[in-house]
Amino acid sequence: MKHVLITGGCGFIGSNFVRHTLKNFPDYKIVNLDKLTYAGNPGNLTDIEKNSNYRFVKGDIVDAALVGRIFAEENIDTVVHFAAESHVDRSITGPAEFVQTNIVGTFNLLEAAREAWLNDKAGESKNACRFLHVSTDEVYGSLGETGAFQETTPYDPRSPYSASKASSDHLVSAYFHTYGLPTLITNCSNNYGPYQFPEKLIPLVINNALQGKALPVYGDGKNVRDWLYVIDHCQAILTVLQKGRIGETYNIGGNSEKQNIEIVNLICDILDEKVGLLPGGEKRRSLITYVKDRAGHDRRYAIDATKIRTELGWLPKVNFKDGMRKTVEWYLDHKPWIASVTDGSYREYYEKMYNNRR
C-alpha cells in the first residue's frame, strides 16, 4: 500500500486527481492537505469523502510543523504536490501569496520529505519513496510563432506566478542533486475540464455566456495555449509516478494549440446549440468584448511531449472538441456548483479585475 500525501487536492486538478487515483488504485491511502483558499472547495470531493482510504486535512503547506506531523503520523512515502496559487492575473495584483505558497510551501514539503525519507528510512523502503512536483509550461516563457518547449528549454518565467513556479522547480531539482531526494517534475500545459474555478478562461466564459454577460477577451485574442483535458493530465502524473526516472522532468501537453478567440467562439457555439440563442435571439458570439490586455501577456505556449510519449508510453486520449463538449455539459449539469463558487468574494474579484479593463 502506498501512503500518498496530495497537496491542493480540493482545487481543480487536485480534486480530479484524488478521484481518478482512488478509482484506479483503491489500495492507495490518500491524505489530502489543503488550505481551502478561494480556489479550494471540499465540495469537489463529496462523492469520495467517506472512502476509508481517504483523509482530508485542512491546513497550510507553509506551516512546517503541520507538514512534518503529517509525514510522521501517516508514514508518507509519496508526495504529489499540486497546492499553489495558480492564477496569473492574481499574481499581477498580489504576488506575495505566490511567493509564500509556491516557494516557501514547496520548500517545507521538500524539507519534510528529506527528514522523513533520508534520515529515517532504510534500503527498500527508501527506494520506494517519490516526490512528484506538479508544475507548468509557463516556466519556459513565451514562444514566437513556431517551436515548442522541451525539457531542455531554458527557464524564462515572465509573470510572478510563473517565476514562483520556476523557483519551486529549481528547489525540487536542487533537493535531488544535493541530497538525493527521489524527485520527479512535470511541466504541463493549460488544463480544462470539470471543477475548474471560473477565474480561468474556459469556465469564466462558460459562466458568463450562460448568464448573457460580456465575454472578456484580452488584447487581440490571438494568444495561443496548448490545451489538455484534465483527466489526461491526471493519467500522465500517475504514469510519471510509476514509471518516471528519478530526478527527471517530463513535459505534458495536449498537442492542441488554440488561439483564445477560437476557444471563446467554440464555447458560444456549443452553448447556442445546447441551450438555445440569447433571449433577444442573438448568438452568444455577440457577447465577445475585447478588453485591455494582461500585463506581460505571454504570446504562445506549446509543449513537445516526445519524452513522456517515447519513454513512458503516455498519450492524451481526449481530443479537444470532445473534451470541450464534455466540459460544457459538465458545467450545464452542475449549475449549483457554479453558483456556490461564484458567491460574494467572486463578485468582488470580478469587479476588481474586469471593471478597469474596459
Write out the catalytic residue numbers. Answer: 137-138, 161
Q: Which of residues 181-220 bind ligand NAD (CB under 6 A)?
A: 188, 190-191, 197
Question: Which of the ranges 33-41, 172-180, 216-224, 280-288 carries the binding residues for ligand TYD, by CB under 6 A?
Answer: 216-224
Measured distance CA(114)–CA(263) in Å, rounded? 43
Based on CB atoms, which residue is closest to ligand TYD, 210 or 312? 210
Contact 239, 188 (CB under 8 A): no
Measured distance CA(215)–CA(194) in Å, rounded? 20
Measured distance CA(339)–CA(353) in Å, rounded? 19
Q: How many residues bind ligand NAD (CB under 6 A)?
A: 31
The yes or no reply on residue 225 touching ligand TYD (CB under 6 A) is yes
Least distance to ligand TYD from the beta carbon of 211, Å? 14
Give the DSSP H or E segment for 33. Answer: strand 29-34
Q: Which of residues 283-322 bind ligand NAD (CB under 6 A)?
A: none
297 forms bridges with which residues in the sheet? none
Based on CB atoms, which residue is closest to ligand NAD, 231 or 287? 231
Least distance to ligand NAD from the beta carbon of 33, Å? 6
Based on CB atoms, which residue is closest to ligand TYD, 89 or 232? 89
Q: Which does 225 bind (CB under 5 to 8 A by kind): ligand TYD, ligand NAD, none?
A: ligand TYD
The yes or no reply on residue 165 touching ligand TYD (CB under 6 A) is no
Q: Which does 201 bind (CB under 5 to 8 A by kind): ligand TYD, ligand NAD, none?
A: ligand TYD
The yes or no reply on residue 101 touching ligand NAD (CB under 6 A) is yes
Percentage helix, strand, coil, to 5, in the chain?
A: 50, 15, 35
Residue 75's SS3 state is coil
7 forms bridges with which residues in the sheet? 33, 81
The yes or no reply on residue 225 touching ligand NAD (CB under 6 A) is no
CA distances for 287 relative to 88, 201, 282, 283, 327, angstroms:
24, 15, 9, 8, 20
The yes or no reply on residue 39 touching ligand NAD (CB under 6 A) is yes
The yes or no reply on residue 190 touching ligand TYD (CB under 6 A) is yes
Short-list 257, 251, 255, CA closest to 307: 251
Q: Which of residues 130-159 bind ligand NAD (CB under 6 A)?
A: 134, 136
The DSSP call for residue 300 is B
Q: Which of 105, 157, 182, 216 binds ligand NAD (CB under 6 A)?
A: 105
The yes or no reply on residue 257 touching ligand NAD (CB under 6 A) is no
Q: Which does 218 bind (CB under 5 to 8 A by kind): ligand NAD, ligand TYD, none?
A: ligand TYD
Q: Which does 204 bind (CB under 5 to 8 A by kind): ligand NAD, ligand TYD, none?
A: ligand TYD
Q: Which three cell numbers stand for residue 263?
A: 476557444
Q: Which does 217 bind (CB under 5 to 8 A by kind): ligand NAD, ligand TYD, none?
A: ligand TYD
217 forms bridges with which residues in the sheet? 290
Contact 300, 223 (CB under 8 A): yes
78 forms bridges with which residues in the sheet? 4, 130
Signed CA dihedral, 171, 100, 109, 43: sign only: negative
Q: Which amino acid is at 269?
A: D
Signed CA dihedral, 52, 58, 62, 64: sign only: negative
Based on CB atoms, which residue is closest to ligand TYD, 106 or 190? 190
Q: What are the residues binding ligand TYD (CB under 6 A)? A: 88, 190, 200-201, 204, 216-218, 223, 225, 260, 294
Q: What are the residues binding ligand NAD (CB under 6 A)? A: 7-8, 10-14, 33-37, 39-40, 60-62, 82-86, 101, 105, 134, 136, 165, 188, 190-191, 197
